[in-house]
Amino acid sequence: MVKLERTRYLSICIHGDVDPHKAWRELREALRRLLGEFGLSQAGLLLIEVLPGKLILKCSHKSVWMVRAAAAAVKEAEGSSCLLHVERVSGTLKKLRKALKESKPFSRGDEEAMPQAVESNQ
């Protein structure tokens, strides 16, 4: 019996002044660098929605760890420094959106401290 691929929805938080679409392209490129074309195709990564400072992605349940690793590997997007991290993972888009509405937003101090964190990692 063939098992179906289960999907997961990820909310990725973008820290830094960068266009979310540029961050999306950089995330795909980081995943391709880490795992190659075959790994990228196995992940089944799709951009579902772009929110201010966030990306909502869809991927295979087996590739959540790959997407997390690729997000951690992104340090800049087209010359602008940025950090990406997976804020939340859910099995349904409805539950992810509900969790994002109920979650507390990051304080402005975290955003202002981001450039120093990026500079210390380089």
Over residues 62-116, the pLDDT tens digits come to 999 999 999 999 998 888 889 999 999 999 999 999 999 888 765 544 555 555 5
CA dihedral 17, 118, 78, 10 (to 10 degrees): -70
In a domain, 1, yes or no: no
In a domain, 37, yes or no: yes
Q: How far apart are CA 84 and CA 94, in angstroms?
A: 22
- Give the 3-state secondary structure of residue 53: coil
In a domain, 89, yes or no: yes
Token pair belonging to 83: 């950090």
Q: How far apart are CA 31 and CA 39, in angstroms?
A: 8
CA dihedral 44, 68, 112, 52 (to 10 degrees): 20
We report the CATH number of the domain holding residue 100 as 3.30.70.3250
In three state form, how does the secondary structure of 64-101 look? HHHHHHHHHHCCEECCEECEEEEEEEECCHHHHHHHHH
In a domain, 2, yes or no: no
Sheet of 83-90: strands edge to edge? 46-51, 54-60, 7-15, 83-90
Whole-number pLDDT of residue 7:
94
In a domain, 19, yes or no: yes
In a domain, 31, yes or no: yes
Domain of 58?
Answer: 7-121
Token pair belonging to 58: 């869809």
Whole-number pLDDT of residue 97:
92
- Total domain count for the chain? 1
pTM: 0.80
Whole-number pLDDT of residue 39:
87
In a domain, 112, yes or no: yes
